[in-house]
């Protein structure tokens, strides 16, 4: 049960090992969904899997069978097209059955291609339109604080969402209202719809930018589970209802964990051929068993 | 749920082309690139959706006249407006949902109020993706129709798009173009048709039924009309490529009579073509029962686009069935 698990009761090594196992299962769930539907934002899901594995295994206090528990920590996925990653994490947490992943984006499924709170238990907000998550997170943190609930708010958004003014409006609201129980992750995969982020819009210097907006900011290798565990542990220890909001900028690799995808031309929408799915799964397992992931 | 054969929705790459209909690739991008050869005022902008609005064709042809503002739709509108004040003619593309819902204030005050020559190009208008409410611009026309002086164009096919692009650049004020992107059906060149801002056109004559349509529903209306002739139902199709200003003369002349009139639109039943025609009828004292083929006043489902077009009555099959039912022959 995730509720009884607090970061301090585990040694770091056990925590890292548990997160690695979770990350592997989450990645496999991403591939299962991609194979079932024949498409999906698989490369992004694999790239950001370690962030969700650490969040769901090592940070969030949830009652997986009771997704409406008022005191739960909130995990808000701002980047709606990362839905398949969140579904996989929710399957890992036990909120939805693992077998249900095969219905991803099918007609009538609870798991639409873009994550929506009205469709899926455990999904807190409706994404799809980008740049909403951080503002929703600020409001959630304020609401929980006002009602004195011992609950923290965690949000994941993408580097593309750094382009949206709404993200920066929310950034100022958070530091101004001192939402210290708010932790943001940014998936810095270097990609957005029209191509590599640096060719679309300059989003360099993010640590300095967030610090200047009154946040505590760190940048880590978002595919280094050990580093993530350390950063998240430290961030969690600092979280407090009134305080400085924190952001972790995670450099990730599209397709991480599956070499044949990591080495492929980087695209926002990476196509994977029908016969490639089993090979992707095999490579993922080999990497994991070889201790490389 | 079947483990071996999961049902696929192809929600991301959805085509609106019916089987057997010829298509043209990226007609908007090519028309804009070609126009820019002749008119050096033309510039293109996008908010991280160049590849998905066919703006990449223009960007490749005229890189120095292309501006990428990043995924920032409000900046897209204000930057386009700023460029227009210097005498340029910007075409600014994003998805319809983000243009209308996120950037409305900037369209209204920075583009429309000063009557600047900016064309806002909205991809995925109405129900043209199975991606769910975040991407389904079911009320884009309803949102924008209230802006004074904003021309709204809802092209039927590639022919319409190709002719609308130079026409909108030549016209002085602001416009919203409901984009058809990718492999776009080409049907109007089989008829005697020419796009003109503010003009509806009787594309096909017929004695029993009048289908007043806009956008891709004109393509569906024409296909349905062919199928209905096999049922000995003679169908006229009146295409309203411009939703604002609206050609009331032509449309009311066509529906005022004994033929069964229906409106067909790829839009919510609230605030689009149906209500435009209905209010014109009331104002001009035309009293015939008018039936809408339109999307319901709901947030729509996610799923496969052809399935959704069947479910919400926009597919050619659904239109054929609807007309027969209205005629009491269902
Ligand atoms: C407000 C808004 N504008 C535009 C889009 C279209 N869009 C979908 S994904 C995307 C790229 C955003 O960047 P990012 O999330 O970093 O992309 P990825 O890493 O998945 O390639 C865009 C522009 C959107 N969903 N929402
Ligand atoms: Mg990205």
Kindly report the three-state secondary structure assignment for every residue of chain A: CHHHCCHHHCCHHHHHHHHHHHHHHHHHHHHHHHHHHCCCCHHHHHHCHHHHHHHHHHHCCCCCCCCCCCCCCEEEECCHHHHHHHHHHHHHHCCCCHHHHHHCCCCCCCCCCCCCCCCCCCCCCCCCCCCCHHHHHHHHHHHHHHCCCCCCEEEEEEHHHHHCHHHHHHHHHHHHCCECCEEEEEEECCEECCEEHHHHCCCCCHHHHHHHCCCEEEEEECCCHHHHHHHHHHHHHHCCCECCCEEEEEECCCCCCCHHHHCCCCCCCCCCCHHHHHHHHHHHHHHHHCCCC
Same domain, B179 and B212: no
- Across the range A37-41, mean pLDDT stands at 90
Distance CA A123, CA A93 (A): 12
CB-count exposure of residue B96 (10 Å: 0-12, 13-18, 19+) = buried
Same domain, B213 and B97: no
Atom of ligand 1 nearest to the CA of B48: 23
Same domain, B241 and B132: no
Residue B229: which CATH number? 3.40.50.920
A127 touches B: beta carbon within 8 Å: yes
Alpha-carbon gap: B177 to the closest alpha carbon of chain A (Å) = 21
Q: How many CB pairs below 8 A link A and B?
A: 115
Q: Which of these three, B185, B211, B229, is where a domain ends?
A: B185
pTM for the model stands at 0.95
For residue B135, the tally of other CB atoms under 10 A from its CB is 24
pLDDT value of residue B1: 36
Most ligand 1 atoms within 8 A of CB, residue of B46, B69, B71 to mutate: B71
Q: Do B135 and A194 touch (CB under 8 A)?
A: no
Same domain, B148 and B292: no
| Strand ranges inside B192-259, DSSP E | 201-204, 209-213, 235-239, 242-244
Q: Do A99 and B46 touch (CB under 8 A)?
A: no
Is the pLDDT score of B2 beyond 80?
no
Same domain, B38 and B117: yes
Which residues form ligand 1's pocket by a CB distance below 6 Å?
A 41, 44, 79, 81, 128-131, 158-160, 189, 191-193, 268; B 48-49, 71, 98, 102
Same domain, B289 and B216: yes
Contact B45, B93 (CB under 8 A): yes
Q: Is residue B314 part of a domain?
A: yes
Same domain, B258 and B152: no
Q: Do A38 and B303 touch (CB under 8 A)?
A: no
Residues of B with CB under 8 A from a CB of A: 1, 3, 6-13, 46-52, 56, 68-72, 74-75, 97-98, 101-102, 130-135, 301-304, 307
The structural domain count of chain B equals 2
- Across the range A23-44, mean pLDDT stands at 96
Residue B48: which CATH number? 3.40.50.970
Same domain, B152 and B26: yes
Q: Which of these three, B130, B164, B185, is where a domain ends?
A: B185
- DSSP for residue B100: I
Q: Do B98 and A129 touch (CB under 8 A)?
A: yes
Binning pLDDT at 50, 70 and 90, where does residue B3 land?
A: very low
Domain extent at residue B161: 20-185
Most ligand 1 atoms within 8 A of CB, residue of A30, A113, A170, A192 to mutate: A192
Same domain, B91 and B202: no
B281-295 pLDDT, tens digit per residue, is: 999 999 999 999 999
A155-185 pLDDT, tens digit per residue, is: 999 999 999 999 999 999 999 999 999 999 9
pLDDT value of residue B15: 83
pLDDT value of residue A97: 98
Q: Is residue B5 part of a domain?
A: no
- Across the range B196-203, mean pLDDT stands at 98
B78-107 pLDDT, tens digit per residue, is: 999 999 999 999 999 999 999 999 999 999
A278: which strand partners?
none
Is the pLDDT score of A206 beyond 50?
yes
Q: Which of these three, B156, B185, B214, is where a domain ends?
A: B185
Distance CA B245, CA B101 (A): 22
Same domain, B130 and B274: no
Angle at B295 between CA B292 and CA B296, to 5 degrees: 95
Nearest chain B residue to A158 by CA: give it.
Answer: B71
Distance CA B309, CA B307 (A): 5
**What rounded mean pLDDT belongs to chain B?**
95
Same domain, B170 and B213: no
Distance CA B133, CA A233 (A): 37
Is the pLDDT score of B72 beyond 60?
yes
Q: Is residue B9 part of a domain?
A: no
How far does the centroid of ligand 2 lie from the alpha carbon of residue A252, in Å?
9
Nearest chain A residue to B4 by CA: give it.
Answer: A36
Same domain, B314 and B226: yes
The interface predicted TM-score of the complex, written ipTM, equals 0.93
Is the pLDDT score of A2 beyond 50?
no
Is the pLDDT score of B128 beyond 70?
yes
B19-65 pLDDT, tens digit per residue, is: 899 999 999 999 999 999 999 999 999 999 999 999 999 999 999 99
For β-strands B119-123 and B260-268, DSSP reports them as: unpaired
Give the whole-number percent of chain B exceeding pLDDT 90.
93
B240-264 pLDDT, tens digit per residue, is: 999 999 999 999 999 999 999 999 9
Q: Is residue B12 part of a domain?
A: no
- Environment of ion ligand 2 (residues, CB < 5 A): A 158-160, 189, 191
């Amino acid at each position: 049960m995730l509720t009884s698990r607090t970061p301090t009761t585990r040694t770091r090594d056990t925590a890292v090992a548990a997160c690695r196992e979770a990350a592997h299962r989450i990645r496999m769930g991403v591939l299962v969904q991609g194979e079932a539907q024949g498409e999906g934002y698989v490369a992004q899901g694999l790239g950001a899997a370690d962030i969700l594995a650490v969040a769901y295994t090592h940070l969030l206090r949830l009652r997986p069978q009771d997704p409406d528990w008022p005191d739960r920590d909130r995990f808000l996925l701002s980047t709606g097209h990362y839905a398949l990653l969140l579904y996989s994490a929710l399957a890992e947490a036990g909120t939805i059955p693992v077998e249900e992943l095969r219905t991803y984006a099918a007609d009538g499924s609870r798991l639409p291609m873009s994550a929506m709170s009205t469709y899926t238990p455990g999904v807190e907000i409706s994404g799809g339109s980008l740049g909403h998550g951080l503002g929703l997170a600020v409001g959630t943190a304020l609401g929980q604080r006002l009602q004195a609930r011992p609950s923290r708010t965690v949000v994941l958004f993408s580097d593309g969402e750094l382009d949206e003014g709404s993200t920066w409006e929310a950034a100022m609201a958070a530091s101004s209202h001192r939402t210290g129980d708010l932790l943001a992750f940014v998936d810095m995969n270097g990609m957005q719809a029209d191509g590599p982020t640096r060719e679309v819009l300059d989003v360099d210097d993010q640590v300095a930018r967030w610090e200047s907006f009154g946040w505590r900011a760190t940048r880590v290798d978002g595919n280094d589970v050990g580093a993530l565990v350390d950063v998240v542990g430290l961030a969690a220890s600092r979280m407090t209802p009134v305080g400085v909001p924190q952001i972790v900028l995670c450099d990730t690799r599209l397709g991480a964990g599956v070499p044949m995808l990591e080495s492929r031309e980087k695209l926002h929408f990476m196509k994977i051929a029908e016969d490639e799915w089993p090979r992707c799964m095999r490579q993922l397992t080999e990497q994991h068993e070889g201790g490389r992931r | 749920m079947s483990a071996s054969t999961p049902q696929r929705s192809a929600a991301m790459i959805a085509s609106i082309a019916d089987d057997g209909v010829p298509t043209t690739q990226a007609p908007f991008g090519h028309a804009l690139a070609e126009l820019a050869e002749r008119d050096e005022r033309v510039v293109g902008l996008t908010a991280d959706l160049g590849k998905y609005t066919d703006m990449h064709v223009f960007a490749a042809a005229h890189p120095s006249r292309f501006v990428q503002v990043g995924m920032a739709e409000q900046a897209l509108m204000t930057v386009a407006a700023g460029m227009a004040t210097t005498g340029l003619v910007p075409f600014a593309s994003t998805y319809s949902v983000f243009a209308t819902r996120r950037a409305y204030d900037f369209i209204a005050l920075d583009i429309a109020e000063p009557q600047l020559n900016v064309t806002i190009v909205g991809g995925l208008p109405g129900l043209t993706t199975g991606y769910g409410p975040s991407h389904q611009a079911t009320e884009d026309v309803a949102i924008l129709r209230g802006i004074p002086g904003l021309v709204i164009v809802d092209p039927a096919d590639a022919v319409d798009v190709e002719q609308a692009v130079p026409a909108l650049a030549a016209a002085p004020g602001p416009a919203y173009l409901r984009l058809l992107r990718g492999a776009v059906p080409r049907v109007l060149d089989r008829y005697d048709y020419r796009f003109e801002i503010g003009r509806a056109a009787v594309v096909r004559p017929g004695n029993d039924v009048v289908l007043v349509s806009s956008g891709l529903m004109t393509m569906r209306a024409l296909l349905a009309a062919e199928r209905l002739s096999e049922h000995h139902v003679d169908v006229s199709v009146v295409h309203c490529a411009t939703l604002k200003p609206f050609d009331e003369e032509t449309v009311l002349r066509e529906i005022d009579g004994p033929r069964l009139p229906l409106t067909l639109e790829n839009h919510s039943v609230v605030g689009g073509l149906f209500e435009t025609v209905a209010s014109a009828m009331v104002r001009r004292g035309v009293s015939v029962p008018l039936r809408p083929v339109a999307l319901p006043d709901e947030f729509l489902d996610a799923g496969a686009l052809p399935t959704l077009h069947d479910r919400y009555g926009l597919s050619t099959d659904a239109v054929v069935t609807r007309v027969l039912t209205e005629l009491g022959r269902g």
